[in-house]
Amino acid sequence: MEWGMKNRLNKLIQPDGKALFLPIDHGYFQGPTTKLERPGETIKPILQYADALMLTRGVLRNCIEPNIKKPIILRVSGGASVVGEDLANETITTSIKEIIKLNASAVSMSIFVGSKYEHQTLKNLSKLVDKCEEYGIPVMAVTAVGRELKKRTARYLGLCCRIAAELGARVVKTYYCEQDFEKVVNGCPVPVVIAGGPKVSTQLEVFEFVYDGLQKGAIGVNLGRNIWQTQNPVASIRAIRAIIHDNFTSKEALDLFNKLVAEKK
């Protein structure tokens, strides 16, 4: 692996081999998402606890100060919306020139395996990998399911992750599943990070799936709504960080979370 690629991956994946990515890219298909109406304000108290920030070029340019110290994962696929015909109908939205100009440490894009647009989105991934590899920029593939959240089984996710890695993704972001998640990770030759999905009802649920996912081989998370849509985003991200980087169990993370909430941190 050449120096530039190694350097960028080292910025994203920490010396302990783990990672906490904070995504705020949701507006690219769902508009001004709850608690993300003003993304710059949303991330102010929590960014310091993340290892990287994932977002689109529009939010980066307009809402984020250029003196940001955290590496940027630029979301470069899109072209569909929640009110449109099919969320899977995505294209690559950002040129390689723009990716370099914005000094992205990585890019991310979605693939929709099994959908009407499977071929198109897999072609998007292959072409993006070709362009980005030329400049040492890692591609993180997102195994997206659109509205079909029930698709999240180990068999399906394992298929998606393996295909993404085979086509050249350097990191794969996928959903956690309760059964056989280790099979998803074991079948994927590149690091896997867990996506959060819609906000779940309790903090403990989040801590449990993050902890379990890590035990089963994920290197970390790319977790948005279950941090910044919660009532206590700072306590939430700090507790998740403790699971990822300090080997906390889900119970220890909950204790830390409750302590931070009590201290109003």
Q: Which are the catalytic amino acids?
A: 173
152 binds ligand 5RP (CB under 6 A): no
Start-to-end C-alpha separation, the chain:
41
Q: Which of 13, 25, 216, 219 binds ligand 5RP (CB under 6 A)?
A: 25
Cα-based distances in Å from 47 to 33, 90, 126, 189, 221: 18, 28, 31, 29, 14
From 20-28, 34-42, 129-137, 181-189, give the range in contact with ligand 5RP by CB under 6 A.
20-28
In which residue are the tokens 């100060």 written?
Answer: 65
Instruction: Assess 222 for contact with ligand 5RP (CB under 6 A).
Output: yes
Interface with ligand 5RP, residue 144, by CB under 6 A: yes
In 3-state terms, what secondary structure has residue 20? Answer: strand
Token pair recorded at residue 183: 């099979």
* Least distance CB 2 / ligand 5RP (angstroms): 27
Q: Tell me: does residue 158 bind ligand 5RP (CB under 6 A).
A: no
Give CA–CA dist 213/177, Å, rounded.
Answer: 8
* Residue 41 CA: distances (Å) to CA of 56, 98, 143: 16, 25, 28
Contact string 173-212 vs ligand 5RP (x = CB under 6 A): ----------------------xxx---------------
For residue 175, the SS3 value is strand
Indicate whether 71 belongs to the interface with ligand 5RP (CB under 6 A): no
Q: How far is the CB of 29 from ligand 5RP (least distance, A)?
A: 7
Q: Smallest distance from the beta carbon of 127 to ligand 5RP, in angstroms?
A: 19
Q: Does 140 bind ligand 5RP (CB under 6 A)?
A: no
Does residue number 254 form part of the binding site for ligand 5RP (CB under 6 A)?
no
Q: Which amino acid is at 161?
A: C
Q: With the C-alpha atoms ordered 185, 28, 54, 98, is the resulting torsion angle positive or negative? A: positive
Count the site residues for ligand 5RP by CB under 6 A. 15
Residue 42 binding ligand 5RP, by CB under 6 A: no
Instruction: Name 242's Cβ contacts closer than 8 Å, sequence gap at least 6.
Output: 248, 252, 253, 256
Tokens, residue 235: 């306590």
**Of positions 141, 177, 185, 223, contacts ligand 5RP by CB under 6 A:** 223
Q: List the structure tokens of 102.
A: 């914005």
Closest separation in Å from C-beta 263 to ligand 5RP: 26
Helices (H) and strands (E) in the chain, counts: 12, 10
Under 8 Å between Cβ of 105 and 12: yes
Q: Is 23 in the site for ligand 5RP (CB under 6 A)?
A: yes
* Token output for 34: 């709850």
Q: Is 213 in the site for ligand 5RP (CB under 6 A)?
A: no
Residue placing its CB nearer to ligand 5RP in the complex, 105 or 226: 226
CB-nearer residue toward ligand 5RP: 4 or 219: 219
The residues binding ligand 5RP (CB under 6 A) are: 23, 25-26, 54, 110, 142, 144, 195-197, 222-226
